[in-house]
């Protein structure tokens, strides 16, 4: 090595000096080229990172404020003069269960018909005594679903009659907009959503601390709502997505792993397996919207599965996830050293024993990662769901995968289209943050499991 450098630095004078001079002359431009290439690389990386940073900054800047929303602490008096209902029926002796249920239902109906808005109005007025404002305007400050919240409280505990209890209520979406300044506060009355009096009341209550920006738990525990936008939440969509994930995992993992094992370990290599392999790869490349069209035609029109149900969404997404799992499982099976198989077979194991006792356990990390990444991909998929009716407005949490439901990405799409832009722009970004957090934690789980399982092997 040292000789070599010496030869380069002190060239022998046998005519190669000229060649060396030429190399030296070219050296500068070669270094420049190298430097340029690195600069391009750094620029490309920087651009990619910049895009990610801008995306996240925009979503977080818009979405984070939505996690704190205007709520008001009121002392609600269940005024017997307004809440005029019979005591809750108790089951009499000899009364059949059906009769009793009917009596309770009638009673609940009567409770629903109580003018709860008057109870709310009285509670708001008590917080701002002497404030000149008419009834209609008072009610625009409180979200419209609160009357049902009071009703449910009362149905749950009829003993509240005549008592005063502190209740934290949601302020209406328009109050939230006004206090956050989402609608320009300097705009004239005609361009504001709240009337003059209501804006004044909101400001006064905000100043004395009755209304405060508090953490919006309702985003996580409430279902979607249109009549009460401030109460709209992701619970229904979350459970819908969860059911779809379950269906995807239950169907695509066994089918995908079985197919991969058969193709890799048992099937004789030939034209047919090649053909199958090509088609599985093709399936992985099919755009997701095509699966949606297929799902609508087959699962809904032919199998008569219900519209807007997570079961159908799960089946469609299974089709999408299957190729990912088959391909990844085959890759990890191929990566198992042949010596393992030879050893097992040599010791007298059958092929099935060889696969299930020795080869498959080694591939667990690979299959696990493929599954989680496939599911994470599927959970963010929107296009096929639009075609199977999952873009419907559903105001309940699905009890089974056969009930109508929304899904997280579709909920983002629906909120993006909501006509109350001022309020839902932020809430849409908040939903995106929730979905991103879910995806990132799924991916983190995949990495963690892979590390852990690989170490154990």
Partner 1 sequence: MKKLMLATAALAVVFAGSAQAQSRDTIQIAGSSTVLPFASIVAEEFGNAFPQFKTPVVGSGGTGGGLKQFCEGVGANTIDIANASRQIKKSEVEACNKNGVNKILEVQIGYDGIVFASSASKADFALEPVHVFKAIAAQVAVDGKLVANPYKNWNEIDAALPNQPIALAIPASNHGTREVFQERVIAAGAKAAGLPEMSKEEMEKVVTTFRQDVVVEIAGDYTETLARLQSNADTVGVFGLSFYDQNKDKLKVATVSGVTPSLETVAAGEYPVSRPLFFYVKGEHVGVVPGIDEYVEFFLSDGIAGLGGTLETAGLIPAPAEETADVLAEYKAGKALTAADVK
Using the Cα atoms of residue 281, residue 287, residue 288 and residue 293 in order, give the sign of their dihedral. negative
Position 120 contacts partner 1 (CB under 8 A)? no
Angle at CA of residue 424, ends 395 and 387, nearest 5°: 55
Position 189 contacts partner 1 (CB under 8 A)? no
Q: Please tell me the distance from the alpha carbon of residue 124 to that of residue 141, in angstroms, as a whole number.
A: 9
Q: Contact, 422 vs 326, CB < 8 A?
A: no
Closest CA to 354 of 367, 366, 338, 365: 338
As measured in angstroms, the least distance from the Cβ of 101 to partner 1 is 9
Q: Which is nearer to partner 1, 112 or 443 (CB)?
A: 112
Using the Cα atoms of residue 376, residue 416, residue 148 and residue 120 in order, give the sign of their dihedral. positive
Position 226 contacts partner 1 (CB under 8 A)? yes
Position 251 contacts partner 1 (CB under 8 A)? yes
Which of the ranges 72-80, 85-93, 108-116, 336-344 carries the binding residues for partner 1, by CB under 8 A?
108-116
Position 43 contacts partner 1 (CB under 8 A)? no
Which residues from 125-184 bind partner 1, rule CB under 8 A? 144-145, 148, 183-184
Q: Contact, 142 vs 72, CB < 8 A?
A: yes
Q: Which is nearer to partner 1, 79 or 425 (CB)?
A: 425
| Contacting residues for 231 by C-beta, under 8 A, at least 6 apart | 143, 145, 170, 218, 222, 225
Which of the ranges 3-11, 65-73, 324-332, 394-402 carries the binding residues for partner 1, by CB under 8 A?
394-402
Q: How far is CA 276 from the centre of its chain?
A: 34
Among 395, 436, 445, 453, binds partner 1 (CB under 8 A): 395
Position 266 contacts partner 1 (CB under 8 A)? no
Q: Which is nearer to partner 1, 164 or 416 (CB)?
A: 416
Position 233 contacts partner 1 (CB under 8 A)? no
Position 383 contacts partner 1 (CB under 8 A)? no
Position 18 contacts partner 1 (CB under 8 A)? no
Position 421 contacts partner 1 (CB under 8 A)? yes
Position 221 contacts partner 1 (CB under 8 A)? no
- Strand-pairing partners, residue 170, are 71
Which of the ranges 84-92, 248-256, 273-281, 328-336 carries the binding residues for partner 1, by CB under 8 A?
248-256
Q: What is residue 46's three-state secondary structure? A: helix
Question: Angle formed by the axes of helices 196-207 and 173-180, to 10°?
Answer: 70
Q: Contact, 180 vs 236, CB < 8 A?
A: no
Q: Contact, 184 vs 110, CB < 8 A?
A: no
Retrieve residue 212's tokens: 């405060």
| 417 CB neighbour count, 10 Å cutoff | 11
Q: Please tell me the distance from the alpha carbon of residue 20 to that of residue 53, in angstroms, as a whole number.
A: 49
As measured in angstroms, the least distance from the Cβ of 113 to partner 1 is 8
Which of the ranges 8-16, 24-32, 123-131, 244-252 carries the binding residues for partner 1, by CB under 8 A?
244-252
Q: Contact, 128 vs 201, CB < 8 A?
A: yes
Position 204 contacts partner 1 (CB under 8 A)? no
Among 349, 389, 443, 450, binds partner 1 (CB under 8 A): 389
As measured in angstroms, the least distance from the Cβ of 22 to partner 1 is 58
Q: Please tell me the distance from the alpha carbon of residue 46 to that of residue 318, in angstroms, as a whole number.
A: 36
Class of residue 405 by CB neighbours under 10 A (exposed 0-12, middle 13-18, buried 19+): buried
Which of the ranges 163-171, 210-218, 246-254, 265-273 carries the binding residues for partner 1, by CB under 8 A?
246-254
Q: What is residue 105's three-state secondary structure? A: helix
In degrees rounded to 5, what are phi and psi of residue 272? -65, -45
Which of the ranges 196-204, 286-294, 419-427, 432-440 carries the binding residues for partner 1, by CB under 8 A?
419-427
In degrees rounded to 5, what are phi and psi of residue 92? -80, 160
Position 109 contacts partner 1 (CB under 8 A)? yes
Position 57 contacts partner 1 (CB under 8 A)? no
The CA radius of gyration of the chain, in Å to the nearest whole number, is 33
Among 164, 273, 422, 443, binds partner 1 (CB under 8 A): 422
Which of the ranges 287-295, 337-345, 397-405, 435-443 carries the binding residues for partner 1, by CB under 8 A?
397-405
Position 443 contacts partner 1 (CB under 8 A)? no
Size of site (CB under 8 A) for partner 1: 54
Which residues from 294-313 bind partner 1, rule CB under 8 A? 300-301, 303-309, 311
Position 89 contacts partner 1 (CB under 8 A)? no
Binding site for partner 1 (CB under 8 A): 105, 108-109, 112, 144-145, 148, 183-184, 187, 190-193, 225-228, 247, 250-251, 253-254, 257, 300-301, 303-309, 311, 356, 389, 391-396, 400-404, 416-422
């Amino acid at each position: 090595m040292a000789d070599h450098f010496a030869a380069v630095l002190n060239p022998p004078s046998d005519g190669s000096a000229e060649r060396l001079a030429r190399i030296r002359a070219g050296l500068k431009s070669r270094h420049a080229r190298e430097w340029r290439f690195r600069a391009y690389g750094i620029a490309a990386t920087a651009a990619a990172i910049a895009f990610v940073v801008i995306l996240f900054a925009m979503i977080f800047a818009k979405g984070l404020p939505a996690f704190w929303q205007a709520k008001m602490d009121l002392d609600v008096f269940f005024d017997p003069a307004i809440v005029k209902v019979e005591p809750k029926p108790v089951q009499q002796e000899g009364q059949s269960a059906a009769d009793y249920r009917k009596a309770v239902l009638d009673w609940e109906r009567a409770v629903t018909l109580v003018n709860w808005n008057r109870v709310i109005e009285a509670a708001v007025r008590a917080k701002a005594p002497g404030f000149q404002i008419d009834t209609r305007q008072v009610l625009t400050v409180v979200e419209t679903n609160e009357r049902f919240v009071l009703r449910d409280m009362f149905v749950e505990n009829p003993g509240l009659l005549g008592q005063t209890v502190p209740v934290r209520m949601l302020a209406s979406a328009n109050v939230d907009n006004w206090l956050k300044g989402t609608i320009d506060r300097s705009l004239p009355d005609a361009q504001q959503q709240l009337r003059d009096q209501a804006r004044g009341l909101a400001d006064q209550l905000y100043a004395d601390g009755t209304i405060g920006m508090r953490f919006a738990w309702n985003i996580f525990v409430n279902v979607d709502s249109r009549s009460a936008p401030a109460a709209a939440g992701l619970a229904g969509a979350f459970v819908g997505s969860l059911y779809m994930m379950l269906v995807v995992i239950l169907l695509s993992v066994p089918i995908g792993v079985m197919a991969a094992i058969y193709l890799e370990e048992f099937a004789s290599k030939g034209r047919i397996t090649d053909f199958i392999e090509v088609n599985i790869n093709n399936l992985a490349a099919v755009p997701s919207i095509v699966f949606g069209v297929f799902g609508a035609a087959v699962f809904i029109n032919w199998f008569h599965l219900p519209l807007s149900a997570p079961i159908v969404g799960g089946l469609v997404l299974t089709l999408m996830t299957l190729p990912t799992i088959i391909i990844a499982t085959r890759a990890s099976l191929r990566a198992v050293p042949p010596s393992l198989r030879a050893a097992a077979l040599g010791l007298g194991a059958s092929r099935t024993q060889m696969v299930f006792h020795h080869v498959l356990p080694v591939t667990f990390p690979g299959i696990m990662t493929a599954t989680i990444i496939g599911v994470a991909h599927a959970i963010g998929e929107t296009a096929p769901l639009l075609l199977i009716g999952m873009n419907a407005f559903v105001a309940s949490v699905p009890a089974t995968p056969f009930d109508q439901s929304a899904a997280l990405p579709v909920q983002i799409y629906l909120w993006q289209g909501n006509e109350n832009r001022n309020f839902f722009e932020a809430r849409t970004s908040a939903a995106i943050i929730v979905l991103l957090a879910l995806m990132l934690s799924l991916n983190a789980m995949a990495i963690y499991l892979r590390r852990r399982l690989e170490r154990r092997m």
